[in-house]
Amino acid sequence: LKEMPCPLDKSTLGNYTWGFLHTMAAYYPETPSQADQQMMKNFITGLARFYPCSYCADHLQKEIVSNPPDVKNNYTLSMWFCNIHNEVNERLGKPIFDCSRVFERWRDGNKNCFE
């Protein structure tokens, strides 16, 4: 019998989650409807409540109060997630990412990635 794979550790979960969040933000509409914008706010509120690392979730909850998600369009949302991620990077002593390259990193950078 093959062994059951390990559940995700905090670091892998974080890595996969950021990949999803930045990609989602990059493909969020350029002109979202009011309903889209409300749903995205609700999604982020839910993420901050249910993210399965309690102190990460606590930090995120505080962050969205002091710096509410900017759901106006894909650019503002991408910048918002980039800044939130950089706040975590700073806390963990990781390099600060250049947010002007966020679309290049998560959407436009290497066209071969989807082939």
Site residues for ligand FAD per CB under 6 A: 10-11, 14-15, 17-18, 22, 51, 55-56, 59-60, 82, 85-86, 88-89, 92, 94, 97, 102, 105
Shortest distance (Å) from residue 78 CB to ligand FAD: 8
Q: Of 3 and 111, which has the nearer Cβ to ligand FAD?
A: 111
C-beta nearest to ligand FAD: residue: 14
Q: Of 33 and 55, which has the nearer Cβ to ligand FAD?
A: 55
Name the token pair of 92: 């963990």
Q: Of 2 and 91, which has the nearer Cβ to ligand FAD?
A: 91
Q: Of 2 and 111, which has the nearer Cβ to ligand FAD?
A: 111
Shortest distance (Å) from residue 67 CB to ligand FAD: 13
DSSP per position, the chain: -PPPPPPPPHHHHHHHHHHHHHHHHHHS-SS--HHHHHHHHHHHHHHHHH-SSHHHHHHHHHHHHHS----SSHHHHHHHHHHHHHHHHHHHTPPPP-GGGHHIIIIIS-GGGG-
Phi, psi angles (nearest 5°) of residue 31: -130, 80
